Chain A
Amino acid sequence: MSGNDNMRDRIQGFILERFPLARKQHFDHQTPLLDGGLLDSLGILDVVGFIEDSFEITLNDDELLPENFQTISHLVAFVARKRSEKQLPTA
């Protein structure tokens, strides 16, 4: 399993665990997170906290953009980019 696959599974697992709405629908790495109210403002904070703790990166406010949070795939690409900037190995 590649680092990004692992990352995707962990983020997807976290969202399924904390966001019951995700469990009530078909949910995968392409499901829109921002449309339909799946993630709200407090929910984003939870996701950001999880990502910072799990992948040893710090997210800045200017990176908290809708385009980085569209889907789990977008999030994974974003986190991978952040980690490579910090020159951390893939998760």
Chain B
Amino acid sequence: MDYLVHHMLHTSARRLADKVALVHGEERLTYREVALRVKGLANGLNNAGIGPSERVGIYLEPSIAQVISIFGVSEAGAAFVPINAVLLRDQVTHIIRDCGMKALITTRAKLTSILDSLSEMPTLEFIVLFDVELPTNLSCRVYRLEDLCADQPTASRRQERISKDLAAILYTSGSTGRPKGVMLSHANIIAGATIVSTYLEITEEERILAILPFSFDAGLNQLMSAFLCGSTLILMTFTFAREIVQMLLRERVTGLAGVPTLWSLLAQPTSTLSRQELPDLRYITNTGGAMPQPILKTLRQTLTTTRIFLMYGLTEAFRSTYLPPEELDRRPTSMGRAIPDTEILVLREDGSQCTPGEIGELVHRGPTVSLGYWGRSEDTARVLRPNPLLAPELGDCERVCYSGDLVKMDEDGFLYFIGRRDTMIKSSGFRISPTEVEDALFKTGKIRSAAVIGVPDEMLGQAIKAFVVPRDGEQIDQAQLISQCAERLPRYMLPKNIEILDELPKTSSGKVDYPALRRREVG
């Protein structure tokens, strides 16, 4: 029985030992080879002092080492924390501090970029580097990943974990404050892989191209689904959309998951996608925002033999809905219906159920509801609440996830996205809290107040727009302000546009009136 994340790997390795599990460039590893390294790394991490449920960060570009690390941490009984490779020092430092990380697996170049903040990470006991050469001047212990992967078990027995234990923490932004760590149990991750691979009908014949990061719930789910089913996962980083088309051809890819920005790039009239036959591409999935209708139409015309699945999920509940491809004609604007073994409720403010067509909050119940936010019980209690529809005799035995997304449901149970309850921004698949961007603007020292909103953008879904009020006597140059923000913020968080105002609009209670700013953009 597979009840821990790494069990899925070992079951596939027993069944399909010599099958290629991972492809990255010219590198190919079979399930047997992956399983062997993962076992070694788990021993190595335990020998280095990693104990049950301790947090191990993985700050690597997409690579075979990254996948080995994820499963190795799981097998060591610890919790993996994937950190998106595009994040910069401020965000990485926050994550390491927030979850009290004990070890970090990274590269020498990435380590250099956060070195100045190492003193602010008191819990970090050691670093594992992917590189051959190790630095000698660090205040904490350093190991080489290859060495740890060859470790033997020690005499002391590893404490066994169960499926309810913490397996991973995924950091994601909300509407305010800094990113929060969503805690996923082994059961959450396995349920997600089982459910999604069931409706996508993934088999061991599948060759899945992974371009979504593993720090993102849909990206992690893709990896887990592939390993559960014994499929081959192809890893890549890309700069130009055409590199993806080349890879689809070269590796005869059968499945690809992407966010709307990617599909917009691939669906451009001049894209190489329109000139290639891709008979092997069995399915594509979209997540991380609604796919624009013209893009969907183009993809359907171009990829005539490919099934298109529109999906929706939020990290706090891992995966939630999907639209079966056969419904695309009838309900192209729908975000689909509940995934198997999951119920999606649309609730009014008072907790009662909306009637069809009535707008309410999407509430998710099922086995992928996460364990909440690491170290933030108050925030957790706001998002994960007792099921209001449960018979009182059952008590509050079940927590359901309040998404903050406003939706309506049709008579057949299909959902339609209306908007957010709060100010959270979604751009190129990333969740962005306005406060993170506002903080970076404040840190320039040039402005008195700032408010950041998302504005509709053809390519990104939403683009970031900032309104700022300069400090008295400050002359503000927009380009320079963006440039200063770029020191602290990863690209996806940078404002595309900054407008200078004399005063920000305020509500009667004196808070920034975000709806007024949004209306200003639309009007």
Contact = CB atoms under 8 A, between A and B. Distances in A.
Interface stretch (A57-65, A71-79, A83-91): A57-65
B272 A19 contact: no
Contact of A65 (B242, B269, B459): B242
A61 B271 contact: yes
A91 B171 CA distance: 45
Given A18-B486, A42-B428, A64 B494 contact: no
A43 B86 CA distance: 11
A41 interface: yes
A61 B491 contact: no
Given A20-B486, A61-B270, A42 B240 contact: no
B429 to A, nearest CB: 10
A39 interface: yes
B240 A44 contact: yes
A61 B272 contact: yes
Interface in A1-37: 16-20, 34
A60 B268 contact: yes
B507 interface: no
Contacts of B86: 40
A61 B486 contact: no
A65 B428 contact: no
Contacts of B428: 42
Interface in B247-282: 265, 268-272
Which of A34, A39, A45, A46 has the most chain B CB atoms inside 10 A of its CB?
A45
Contacts, number: 55
Nearest to A43: B491
B492 interface: yes
A65 B240 contact: yes
Given A17-B483, A42-B492, A45-B459, A61 B238 contact: no
A78 to B, nearest CB: 14
Contacts of B459: 45
Given A42-B428, A60-B268, A18 B482 contact: yes
A18 B239 contact: no
How many chain B residues sit at the interface, stated as a range, is: 20 to 34
A32 to B, nearest CB: 12
B140 interface: no
Contacts of B239: 34, 39-41, 44, 66, 69
Nearest to B479: A17
B487 interface: yes
Contacts of B487: 20
Nearest to A39: B239
B271 A46 contact: no
How many chain A residues sit at the interface, stated as a range, is: 20 to 34
A42 B271 CA distance: 17
Given A34-B239, A45-B459, A62-B272, A40 B479 contact: no
A57 B242 CA distance: 20
B500 interface: no
Interface in B269-319: 269-272
Contacts of A46: 491
A41 B238 contact: yes
Contacts of B486: 17-20
Contacts of B479: 17
A63 B272 CA distance: 10
A61 B494 contact: no
Given A18-B494, A40-B86, A60 B270 contact: yes
B483 A64 contact: no
Contacts of A16: 483
Interface string B478-490: 0110110011000
A43 B261 CA distance: 13
Contacts of B240: 41, 44, 64-66
Contact of A61 (B242, B482, B483): B242
Nearest to A59: B270
Contacts of A69: 239
B29 interface: no
B448 to A, nearest CB: 23
Contacts of A65: 240, 242
Interface of B: 86, 238-242, 265, 268-272, 428, 459, 479-480, 482-483, 486-487, 491-492, 494
Given A18-B482, A63-B270, 5 more contacts: A16-B483, A20-B486, A41-B240, A60-B268, A69-B239
17 contacts: A16-B483, A17-B480, A17-B482, A17-B483, A20-B483, A39-B239, A40-B86, A41-B240, A45-B459, A60-B268, A61-B271, A62-B242, A62-B270, A63-B270, A64-B240, A66-B239, A69-B239
